[in-house]
Amino acid sequence: MFHKNKRAIEYFNKLAFMEFSELDAVDLQLLDALQHDASLSNVALAERVHVSPPTCLRRVKRLVEGGWIERQMAVLSSDKLGTALGHGLQALVEVTLDRQGSEHLDAFEARAVADDAVQQCWRVSPGPDFVLVVQARDMPAYLAVTQRLLTQDANVRNVKAFFATKRAKFGTQLALPR
């Protein structure tokens, strides 16, 4: 009896202090379920991955603390909000800097990330240095974004903007092994 309890304690201690060098099948199932619907209750999530609710809660907490889950958020309906607030415009903007030293790249990235109109900021290669996804209320608002981020910076060499006319797909899910 003592041997079984000792093994159980060792197992739970291992789980509690486990380094996330590897994720097991349950962790992957939890991540997959949460990335599709983060509003699932702990009980519903536990049922979905076939573990007890306390185990589920503990594992999700470790996934968050380990950095596997960056954040949970609501994805708003641009169609519904567009009807109520105006559809606005979305632009994919390629930005090439004149000087590409790490301090120049870091400075531009920090400014872009801090701007509320920038939904996504990607440092890319080859080609432009950055690709931004910008959401603006209208063309004057987009012009204000370009003034803040692109025109006032003497280090911006080239800008190429593409304006979205239709969104065929939008997702945030990562393909996980089953």
pLDDT in tens, 149-162: 998 778 999 999 99
Q: Residue 35: its pLDDT value, please?
A: 94
Q: Residue 133: its pLDDT value, please?
A: 97
pLDDT at 122 over 60: yes
Which domains are seen in the chain, by residue range?
2-65 (1.10.10.10), 78-163 (3.30.70.920)
Q: Residue 82: its pLDDT value, please?
A: 77
Distance CA 121, CA 105 (A): 12
Distance CA 87, CA 64 (A): 34
What separation, in Å, do the N-terminal and C-terminal C-alpha atoms of the chain show?
36
Q: Residue 166: its pLDDT value, please?
A: 87
Span 61-104, pLDDT tens digits: 999 999 999 999 888 887 788 778 877 899 999 999 999 999 99
Distance CA 34, CA 45 (A): 8
* DSSP label at residue 24: -
Distance CA 146, CA 140 (A): 10
3-state secondary structure 78-146: HHHHHHHHCCCEEEEEEEEECCCCHHHHHHHHHHHHHCCCEEEEEECCCCCCEEEEEEECCHHHHHHHH
Span 168-178, pLDDT tens digits: 888 888 999 87
Q: Fill in the amino acid letter for 92.
A: L
| Angle at 15 (CA atoms; ends 13, 18), nearest 5 degrees | 105
